[in-house]
Structure 1
Amino acid sequence: MLRKLLVSGAVLTGLLTANLCAADEGTVNVLYAGSLVNLMERSVGPAFEKETGLHFQGYAAGSNKIANEIKGKLRRGDVFISASPKVNTALMGATNGDHVSWYVNFAESPLMIGYNPQSRFAADFKKKRWDQVLQEPGIRIGRTDPKLDPKGAFTVQMMTKAAELYHQPDLVQKTLGAPDNPEQVLPEETLVGRLQSGQLDAGFFYSTETSDLKIPAFRPAPELQARASYTLTILNDAPNANGATRFVDFLLGASGRALLKEHGVDVIKPTVTGNAQAVPSSLHAVIDAAQ
């Protein structure tokens, strides 16, 4: 009797394990830069599910924050999409945990200054230069943490350049305050929502966010230009490597690239950095076709 119970228990455990594995194989976990929330959750994810039958599970946050969580083994995923190639470099090599062997640059998006059209400062943006409006008393500005998100770092860099270009040595202090100013620094995935709800008057966003959500925005002078350089990779310890490959195949394919363009992302010629031999063979054809 005991033997029968043990055998039954072993069979049951095997079935549960098989079901869990099947569930894992049917879900693709995509960790992505918070500036892509609307694109991923409302467009790419649903389209991917419809075309492949697989389930898209997304997690959005600042690129550096995600990388830190991967490195600290606090989060696992199949695909990682960042807004800066440097973030991938921090995950490559044995000393960095060997989480990433290669990545593909596939799109770009310039940094913009967006504002709420209902804000009491909205009219000023139409009459004055944007940096002058950002210095007005009472204006509520939102940005991301330069330590956790490339967009936050780009914001500080752009404002530092603007201080030189416009001969205003105290511009950064007047507009941003300290790099980690708690009155401005917010999680990337919440920044758009706070602007739209009226909690912010203005903020720093990528063009994919302003274009996609019809946020009025200004592009700074060419001398101040900063932009996201979106990259993607399949993590070396991806629980669902096959599903990850199908997701990358979709995003870099004709359907995915069309969706990126619809959402205001500048699609570029895909380029591979790192160990190209580690790239799944099926993806080489997709990358070559997108040249």
Structure 2
Amino acid sequence: MLTPHAPGNGQPGRRAVLATVGGLASMGSLAGCLGSDADALTVLSAGSLVTTFEDHVGPAFEAETGISLHGEYYGTNAVMRMVEDRTKHPDVIVSADSRLLRDRLYDEFTDWDVEFAANSVGIGYNPDTEFGQGLDANEAWYDLAPETDEGDIAIGDPDLDPLGYRAVQAFELAEAVHDLEGFREEMLRLVYKEPEEPQLLAGVESGSRAAAIIYRNMAVDHDIPFHEFPPEYNFADPGMAAQYAAAEYTTDEEGYTAEGRPVLYSATVNDEADEADGGHRLIQFLVDNPELLVEAGLTVGDRLPRPAGNVPERIEL
């Protein structure tokens, strides 16, 4: 196991095994669902939350309500597409980019969501690689990264996943902050674009890849070293939203233009849900149990939870 390093102000926790991408993950069910006829709930979620739901939220929610969660996890762009074309029919939809959810799903599939957690972006790395040793020696990541071999650093596929386009936006903002002419394009030439977000750290853990641009909670999930980007491009500070917005990315397939913005996870219940009542209960549970989210490496500050749209009255914020 890799030696843990402190990510930001905290140290990564235990290693958790990721679910297979898109795999249906059931945690069983308990008898006697309280206040709902459902005994199972389907959740279609951003891939960066697989361990959050499978190891933290899901078991606790089932213990309290008797409702088991059946989760599938993909890049958020892919999640939105699956809902839009009805390839998937989830009860609850969870996005790693609250604005993306509103832009893509409002009116036809929902008219509300609740932001419930935040995150930051940085580098998860293998300390046994030359790149990792450089980071441990406090060398600047933006000096080290261009010297890596092609494919040594992975990012999410920016056309499928907000984490991917946030990596591209981070390269662009770093270029401006550190006066690095051509840095964004150089990095895009070098990086490997991983289409399956839950597999983003597989190469880092095996030693076949030096690093990946990830969210902080993913470093906690995998118990690997994490080098957080500075506030100017870690997408963690709502007060720097205007600076983040200076970087944009337009996806190839949908032509959706995402501006840089703080990482905010949001959830809603599908208007076409089979188990809307259970879905409302899950979102209330997320709101009422921030300690589970913090345990999973996410951030829940004074600004959260934050509602948008016509949130049902039964959800108390």
- Which residue of structure 2 aligns with residue 218 of structure 1? 227
- Residue 171 of structure 1 deviates from its aligned partner by 1.2
Matches within 5 A, 1:46-61: 46-61=59-74
Q: How many angstroms apart in 1 are the aligned matches of 2:193 and 2:157?
A: 9
- Which residue of structure 1 aligns with residue 265 of structure 2? 230
Q: After alignment, is 49-58 or 70-79 more displaced?
A: 49-58
Is residue 125 of structure 1 aligned with residue 135 of structure 2? yes
Deviations 1:30-57 (A, max 9, x none): 1111111111111211121122111210
- Which residue of structure 2 aligns with residue 79 of structure 1? 92
Deviations 1:200-247 (A, max 9, x none): 210111111113332211122222232421001111111111111221
Name the SS of the counterpart of 1:105 in structure 2. Answer: strand
Is residue 65 of structure 1 aligned with residue 100 of structure 2? no
Change (3 A) 1:219 1:102: same
Deviations 1:121-169 (A, max 9, x none): 3211123101112111326111111122111111111101111222221
Specify the code of the residue in structure 1 equivalent to 2:266: T
Instruction: List gaps (5 residues or longer) in structure 1.
Output: 1-23
- Residue 263 of structure 1 deviates from its aligned partner by 1.5
Number of aligned residue pairs: give it: 251
- Which residue of structure 2 aligns with residue 191 of structure 1? 200
Is residue 174 of structure 1 aligned with residue 186 of structure 2? yes
Indicate if the aligned counterparts of 2:194 and 2:200 stay in contact, CA closer than 8 A.
no
Which has the larger Rg? 1
- Which residue of structure 1 aligns with residue 122 of structure 2? 112
Specify the code of the residue in structure 1 equivalent to 2:154: G
Equivalent position to 2:55, from 29, 34, 42: 42
Indicate if the aligned counterparts of 2:170 and 2:234 stay in contact, CA closer than 8 A.
yes
- Residue 72 of structure 1 deviates from its aligned partner by 0.6
Q: How many angstroms apart in 2 are the aligned matches of 1:169 and 1:195?
A: 28
Specify the code of the residue in structure 2 equivalent to 1:110: S
Q: How many angstroms apart in 2 are the aligned matches of 1:184 and 1:73?
A: 26
Percent identity of paired positions between Structure 1 and Structure 2: 30
- Which residue of structure 1 aligns with residue 6 of structure 2? none
- Residue 92 of structure 1 deviates from its aligned partner by 3.7
Deviations 1:88-120 (A, max 9, x none): 1233444xxx11110011110011111012324
Instruction: List gaps (5 residues or longer) in structure 2.
Output: 1-36, 237-262
Indicate if the aligned counterparts of 1:142 and 1:186 stay in contact, CA closer than 8 A.
no
Indicate if the aligned counterparts of 2:160 and 2:195 stay in contact, CA closer than 8 A.
no
Q: How many angstroms apart in 2 are the aligned matches of 1:93 and 1:137?
A: 42
Q: How many angstroms apart in 2 are the aligned matches of 1:41 and 1:204?
A: 22
- Residue 194 of structure 1 deviates from its aligned partner by 3.0
- Which residue of structure 2 aligns with residue 200 of structure 1? 209
- Residue 78 of structure 1 deviates from its aligned partner by 0.7
- Residue 82 of structure 1 deviates from its aligned partner by 0.5
Equivalent position to 1:147, from 159, 179, 185: 159
Specify the code of the residue in structure 1 equivalent to 2:283: V
Change (3 A) 1:101 1:108: same
Name the SS of the counterpart of 1:218 in structure 2. Answer: strand
Per residue, is there more helix in 1 or in 2? 1
Indicate if the aligned counterparts of 1:115 and 1:122 stay in contact, CA closer than 8 A.
yes
Name the SS of the counterpart of 2:156 in structure 1. Answer: coil
Change (3 A) 1:246 1:137: closer
